[in-house]
Amino acid sequence: MTDDSYYYEPAQGHGLPHDPFNAIVGPRPIGWISSQDRQGRLNLAPYSFFNAFNYVPPIIGFASVGRKDSLNNIEQTGEFAWNLATRPLAEAMNQSCAAVAPEVDEFALSQLTPLASRLIGVPRVQESPVTFECRLTQIIQLQRHDQSLVPTWLILGEVVAVHIARHLLKDGIYDTAAAQPILRGGGPADYFQLGPDALFKMRRPSST
C-alpha cells in the first residue's frame, strides 16, 4: 500500500515553497483591530489569526505574532474594536498592515475615518459595515508542548457593543454574504470573498 500524502514535521521545516499551514487552516476571518495607546495615538491593523470563541458573553480573540502595536495599546487601555473587512475595503485593509512606526496613524494612511465608539474610547472604522466594541478579558502568551514560551500573544476581548449597517439585516437576520466579507487564505497574497454562491444549508441532527 502506497502513501500518497506529503508528510513533514513542523519543527524540521516543511520543505515547500511556502508554509501550507495557513492555507490548510483557511480561509480565515480577518481581525481588523483598531486600538489606541494612553496618549490617544491610533492604530489599525489586520490579523489573520482571529476568530470568535464564545456566545454568552460574546468573546473574540486574535493572536499577535510578535509584540505589535495593537498588543501594546490594548495592554495600556484594556479596549479595542474589531471592524469587518469587506471586498470594497480590501485595499484600505491591506494598506493598514504596512510596517510603520507606532506614531503613524493607519487610519490616515489607509484614508479611513475614525468614528467614536459608544462604550469604549477606541474609535471604529466608519466605512466598515460591522464593528464590535471590545473590552479586554485575557492576554495569554502561547507556549510549546514543553511549556517553553512562544513570542505570540492571544488577546481575548468581550464584545460589549455591536454596530451593524441596517441594510445587512434582512427580516431581522444578518445577511453574511451581503456584507461581502473577505477571508485570508494561504500563500503570500491569497484572499477569498464570500458570496451567495458559497451558501448551503445543513441542520443539526435532532436528538432522540
d(CA 179, CA 202): 21
Q: How much is the pLDDT for 89?
A: 98
Note down the domain range covering 117. 27-179
Q: Which pLDDT tens digit goes with each residue over 167-197?
A: 999 999 999 999 999 999 988 899 999 989 9
Burial class (CB in 10 A: 0-12, 13-18, 19+), 184: buried
- How many Cα neighbours within 13 Å face the side chain of 166? 0
The CATH number of whichever domain residue 154 belongs to comes to 2.30.110.10
Q: How much is the pLDDT for 208?
A: 61
Q: Is residue 192 part of a domain?
A: no
* Type of residue found at 198: A
Q: How much is the pLDDT for 2?
A: 61
Copy the grid coordinates of residue 156: 481575548
Q: How much is the pLDDT for 1?
A: 45
Q: Which pLDDT tens digit goes with each residue over 92-145?
A: 999 999 989 888 999 999 999 999 999 999 999 999 999 999 999 999 999 999
* CA distance from start to end of the chain: 41
The candidate with the shortest Cα–Cα distance to 40, out of 113, 123, 137, 99, is 123
Domains held by the chain: number: 1
d(CA 155, CA 137): 8
* pLDDT above 80: residue 207: no
Q: Is residue 154 part of a domain?
A: yes
Q: Is residue 204 part of a domain?
A: no
| Length, in residues, of the chain | 208
155 or 207: which carries more pLDDT confidence?
A: 155
Peptide bond into 196 cis (omega under 30): no
- Eight-state DSSP code of residue 48: S
Q: Is residue 201 part of a domain?
A: no
Average pLDDT over residues 22-49: 95
